[in-house]
Chain A
Amino acid sequence: MATRARLGVGFALLLLIAAPWVLPTAWLLVLENALVLALFAAATNLLVGWTGLVSFGQAAFYGIGAYTVALAWLHGIAPFWLAFPAAPLIAGLVALLTGAIALRARKLYFALLTLAFSELFYVLAEQLYDITNGANGIFGAMVPDLLVSPRPGFYFTLAVVTAALALLHRICHSPFGLALQAIRERRVRAEALGLAVAHHELAAFTLSGAFCGLAGALYVVHDQTAYPELLDWVKSGEPVIVAVIGGISSFAGPLWGALFYQIAHDALVVLTRDWQLVLGALLLLVVLFRPGGIVSLFPGREEG
């Protein structure tokens, strides 16, 4: 990272640490939502932006992360402090298994297969009523009291998201991340150069799934509920859109996108019922005229 970028990140962290003492609680929650969304979007972007694999099924892993925490509480399987770290592991394991199947298909068919898996898990969550409470979802005191109060909850989320993003950043800028980009640019050539492309794609899918699962577990910390729509394909579209609006070709893009999306959403939902219209129009404009996303508007900041 360039010095300027380091300074920027440090400054942003300072602002975020100060936030609970400055912002009203309502806005603190918006910010917390934005942090979780940022992780979800950055994790999805490991596939979409870095590897060139368009997945419309990342909500499956997000939802599995959320359900891990919620089900562990509902059935008294494990305490929160065990269930929470287990969430990304279980989501990653499911991603490994589904990825091994979905990655047999290419491009559009891959996107649709991930969508099918996401819908399959959605149906499971809805129909396994005895286990999941079905469409009613699970809600209750599944999170330690400490994390429910605004400031500690915010700091917990901030700490987890920061650590996870640091790790993701590391992965994106490691040789592995470089290999993923090479796959995105020219899959055949990457293979001809000796790269085991299929293994790398599966590794990326698994990692992305694990980080999405972590984001889902954080969602539960925040809202103390899990319900089937968390696994739906519409939910899967969200991190992709956030990443695209922010800019998929840089690491920072999805983070800016998440901040922008969450604030715009929460502000507009109050003002107008046309949030979807605004989002659609914005996405249309970005896709047609600003394929680099929000980050491409900043001068001299192409790579993050």
Chain B
Amino acid sequence: MNFASAAIEILSALTTAANLFVIAAGLSLVFGALRIINLAHGSFYMIGALLMASLFALGRPGVLFWPALLLAPLLTAGFGAVLERLLFRRIYRAEHLVQLLLSYALSLILADLALRLWGADSRTVPPPAALAGRLSVGGAGFPLYDLFVIALALAVGLGLWALLHRTRFGWEIRAAVEDPEGLSLCGRNVPALFTAVFALGAFLAALGGAAVAPLQAIGPGMDSSILVSAFIVTVIGGLGSIAGAALGAAVIGFVQAMGTLWLPTWAPAFIFLAMILVLVIRPSGLMGAPARAWSEEE
């Protein structure tokens, strides 16, 4: 393997990792604030991608790419908000088996509904003309769209950091991670905040799905394949930590790139081995979420 193709392989792995970060950040955010495990997170990713494909197809080829990239996640976020009000709200205090099963049940239902609405055929969305080319560096042609996905993930990461540390909404989320009751004593409507956080999580999953549309075929089955990867990233980083999600995505990206270069067939196994290794050494991930203050009181 020469340098050029190795560089492209690495970029491709980085692109996957960047996109995984966007999705895992949503999963982690929802876990941190709501203490809920959402196995339907992959469904939001799939719905985002499918909506992207449908919205894109509404206009003349290429015209609606950017509006669809924004609108698909927004619509999914709205849908997520509805699900939070109807279902997830009931199980915040339930044991994790109930949370796992309820969200798994939901993912089954959504997978079937998606199959009904969009059919079994896979769809494609071409990248916009401006990003269709390659950037030539040292004999290697990097697909511009891959670079865009990486830039988008960086923007999402910075945006989330700014949101969490520089806005009142972000302070509320961070406060809710520690002590939702205390937040309600500050006169903040915590249930409404939780709906918003859940919607934001769905938004990030769907954004990941919409952004990945030009890179792969869109169709049924996307949900379960991404879910395991997103969970690995989140768990390696530590559930509930956005920075952890970034770190987890970086670890997975690195492992995947190295695996692809040297032992392509074993790359998937390395990811699981990495997760097992991290959890054995640090049973709550690299940057596990802080426990809620009041649950530790004697």
Contacts and interface: CB of A to CB of B under 8 A. Distances in A.
A127 B265 CA distance: 6
Contacts of A166: none
Interface stretch (A109-117, A252-260, A294-302): A109-117
A103 B105 CA distance: 26
A15 B113 CA distance: 39
A192 to B, nearest CB: 16
Interface residues of A, number: 41
B129 interface: no
A124 interface: yes
Contacts, number: 106
Contacts of A142: none
B109 A116 contact: no
B235 A109 contact: yes
A280 B107 contact: yes
Contacts of A107: 96
Interface string B272-290: 1101100110011100000
B135 to A, nearest CB: 33
The DSSP consensus for interface residues of chain B is: helix
Contacts of A123: 266, 268-269, 272
Interface in B252-298: 265-266, 268-269, 272-273, 275-276, 279-280, 283-285
A244 B101 CA distance: 9
Given A283-B104, A283-B105, A277 B112 contact: yes
A289 to B, nearest CB: 10
Contact of A280 (B97, B106, B235): B106
Interface stretch (B59-67, B140-148, B174-182, B224-232): B224-232
Interface string A45-67: 00010000010100000000000
Interface stretch (A77-85, A210-218, A233-241): A233-241
A282 B101 CA distance: 11
Contacts of A124: 269
Given A127-B265, A234-B224, A276-B112, A284 B235 contact: no
B224 A284 contact: no
B98 interface: yes
B98 A115 contact: no
A246 B103 CA distance: 19
A284 B98 CA distance: 10
Nearest to B281: A104
A68 B108 CA distance: 31
A120 B272 contact: yes
B9 to A, nearest CB: 18
Interface in B144-188: none
B96 A108 contact: yes
A120 B269 contact: yes
B284 to A, nearest CB: 6
B283 A104 contact: yes
Contact of B235 (A54, A56, A112, A288): A112
Contacts of A7: none
Given A108-B96, A291-B98, A120 B273 contact: yes
A111 B272 contact: no
A216 B79 CA distance: 40
Interface in A147-163: none
A281 interface: yes
Contacts of A233: 228
A109 B283 contact: yes
Interface of B: 37, 87, 90, 96-98, 100-102, 104-109, 111-113, 115-116, 224, 228, 231-232, 235, 239, 265-266, 268-269, 272-273, 275-276, 279-280, 283-285
| 6 nearest CB pairs, A to B | A280-B108, A280-B109, A277-B112, A283-B105, A120-B272, A284-B105
10 contacts: A104-B280, A105-B279, A109-B235, A111-B100, A112-B275, A115-B228, A119-B272, A244-B101, A276-B108, A277-B112
